[in-house]
Amino acid sequence: MAKPSKKPSPTVTSCFHNHGAHQSLTDKIARSEAGRKKERQAQDRAKRPRPPPRDPLRRVDPPDVLGDPLHGMLFLAEAMGSGVSAAILRSEAQGQRDLVNSSQLPKKLQDPIEMFEKIGIVFVTRPEAASDRDLFVDVVLPTGWKLKATGHSMWSELLDDKGRVRASMFYKAAHYDRDAFIRLNGRFSWERYAPRPEHLTPAREDLHDRTVYRAVFDRVLDAIVFKAEEVLPILPSERKEDIYPLRRIAEAKLDADAESWLAARYPNWKDPTAHWGDP
């Protein structure tokens, strides 16, 4: 005689049904929570300020262009085609063009920032606030001032509204060794003045190699305003180790003469911000 099949008790069946209903409710709650979370995230994104649209005429930011990894890959591709030296020179020339067409200055200042501010430069971004990766900071130059490239791809100049060189900038744009700094120029600079041999009279030709020259150049007058020279004595020996000490002594004497001349007329001549408006 066959045994009747054993049916689950109503209590067990009810438990199974309750468990399934509970699981379904848990899933619905989880999906609902996930949906609300996505909705909140979308609302948060909508509230964030959007960056302004990029101006196609905006001047190039040298760090963003030349510090980009893509620039390094392009450099390698160019180096494979035309040689490393040619690629480096072109990279540095491009960096100079980007710099002089920008509204930025190197963040590495070789003079106190107060001196830059004294001549009218406004730092939109303070050098100490710039990131380690950035070589440059945004500035506002005085009206009429501009950046100008020199004949050397690593050196550029900051000109004032009268075309006078107020600062010199170094920028090595090669992607593997980038560096930049700026230093202010005073009104006066030293020049190792020396006439060309063909401009000397026959009586002076024999003295040309034994004469030490010094001059002071005035950037306001765009002229040499002081010149001095010292003739070294003739030595029995013409060895360099005998001549160089005498040359150093003569140079120190001429430097002292030039400083005395300047101090008598322009007391603050060592301050790169001073005497630019004086006659």
Q: Check if the beta carbon of residue 59 is closer than 8 Å to that of residue 65.
A: no
pTM attached to this predicted model: 0.63
Mean pLDDT of the chain: 76
Residue 4's pLDDT is what?
A: 55
Mean pLDDT is lowest, of 85-99, 132-146, 258-272, for: 85-99
Whole-number Å distance between alpha carbons of 192 and 147: 26
Q: If pLDDT is split at 50, 70 and 90, which confidence band does 211 have? A: confident
pLDDT digits (tens, 9 = 90+) for 214-251: 899 999 999 999 998 888 887 776 676 777 888 889 98
Mean pLDDT of 14-31: 58
Tokens of 270: 């060592």
Look at 60 and 105; give whichever has higher pLDDT. Answer: 105
One-character DSSP codes across the chain? -PPPPPPPPHHHHHHHHHHHHHHHHHHHHHHHHHHHHHHHHHHHHHHSPPPPPPPTTPPP-HHHHHTSHHHHHHHHHHHHHH-HHHHHHHHHHHHHHHHHTSSEEES-BSS-HHHHHHTT-EESS-GGGS-TT--EEEEEPPTT-EEEE-SSTTEEEEE-TTS-EEEEEEEE--TTS-EEEEEE--SEEEE-----GGGS-HHHHTTGGGEEEEEEEETTTTEEEEEEEEEPPP-S---HHHHHHHHHHHHHHHHHHHHHHHHHH-TTTTSTTSSTT--
Residue 67's pLDDT is what?
A: 47
Mean pLDDT is lowest, of 17-31, 53-67, 78-92, for: 53-67
Amino acid (1-letter code) at residue 76: L
**224 beta partners:** 217
pLDDT tops 50 at residue 65: no
Tokens of 257: 């003469």
% residues pLDDT > 70 (the chain): 63
Look at 8 and 178; give whichever has higher pLDDT. Answer: 178
Tokens of 232: 């070294």
Whole-number Å distance between alpha carbons of 188 and 186: 5
Q: If pLDDT is split at 50, 70 and 90, which confidence band does 16 have? A: very low
Scan for tokens 């709650």, then name that residue.
29
Q: What is the largest CA-CA distance in the chain?
A: 147
pLDDT tops 80 at residue 33: no
pLDDT digits (tens, 9 = 90+) for 133-173: 899 999 999 999 999 999 888 999 999 999 999 999 999 88
Tokens of 135: 């070589």
pLDDT tops 70 at residue 21: no
Mean pLDDT of 43-59: 50
pLDDT digits (tens, 9 = 90+) for 174-201: 777 889 999 999 999 987 766 555 544 4
pLDDT tops 90 at residue 51: no
HSE-up of 15 (CA within 13 Å, CB side)? 4
Residue 68's pLDDT is what?
A: 52
Whole-number Å distance between alpha carbons of 251 and 24: 95
